[in-house]
Amino acid sequence: MVERLPHPGGLRLVLTPNRSLSWHGNVRIWMGLFVLSALIATGFTLMGAWVIIPFAGLELIALACGIYLTSQACQRQEVLSIDGDDIHLEKGRKRKQQEWSLPTRYTRLQIHSPSHPFTPARLSLSHRDTEVSIGTFLNIEDTGKLIEILERKGLRIERKEPDPNIGLWF
């Protein structure tokens, strides 16, 4: 998701992955599945198939791990600020973990075209030896929106076509 924030004298964008549910919503779904699985396991146990209990437990543990890891990955965000002569990029989860500052005049936005039509283009900010990827988690529409905003802001665009691949589909 690309969100534009008010910023005096420049542009500030917050880039975040699309999140369909909050952490509490995910926990509620897991609890519902836990209750359903417990009822089914209890029914089978009463019929004599007690061996289903460990498998139901393992299934719920695997589901909880998957929900947790997905929720953690969805907490990432990037803050891109353009103030006159500087482009400032911050990346992190819940707090700033990485930070870059590049000169606006000599920085270009590299757009690596996708090799498959259903994947978004890869974007990176490039200045001399520094190349920083941005918005790796954005979908096709949000990537297009980000390119349009940065193009209107006057950032130089450099498009790169994918290498020809040998294969049936990719």
The CATH number given to whatever domain includes residue 95 is: 2.30.29
Range of the domain at 57: 23-73
Where in the chain does DSSP place strands (E)? 2-5, 11-15, 76-83, 86-93, 96-103, 108-112, 122-127, 130-134, 156-160
pLDDT tens digits, one per residue of 63-74: 999 999 999 999
- pTM, whole model, 2 decimals? 0.81
Q: Is residue 109 part of a domain?
A: yes
Q: Is the pLDDT of residue 105 over 70?
A: yes
Please give the Cα distance from 71 to 69 (Å, whole number). Answer: 5
Mean pLDDT over 119-139 rounds to: 93
Whether residues 27 and 51 share a domain: the answer is yes
Mean pLDDT over 86-101 rounds to: 94
- Reported as a pLDDT band with limits 50, 70 and 90, residue 28 is very high
pLDDT tens digits, one per residue of 43-64: 999 999 999 999 999 999 999 9
Whether residues 88 and 150 share a domain: the answer is yes
Residue type, 67: I
Whether residues 10 and 38 share a domain: the answer is no
Whether residues 95 and 155 share a domain: the answer is yes
Are 14 and 145 in contact, with CB atoms under 8 Å apart?
A: no
Whether residues 92 and 152 share a domain: the answer is yes
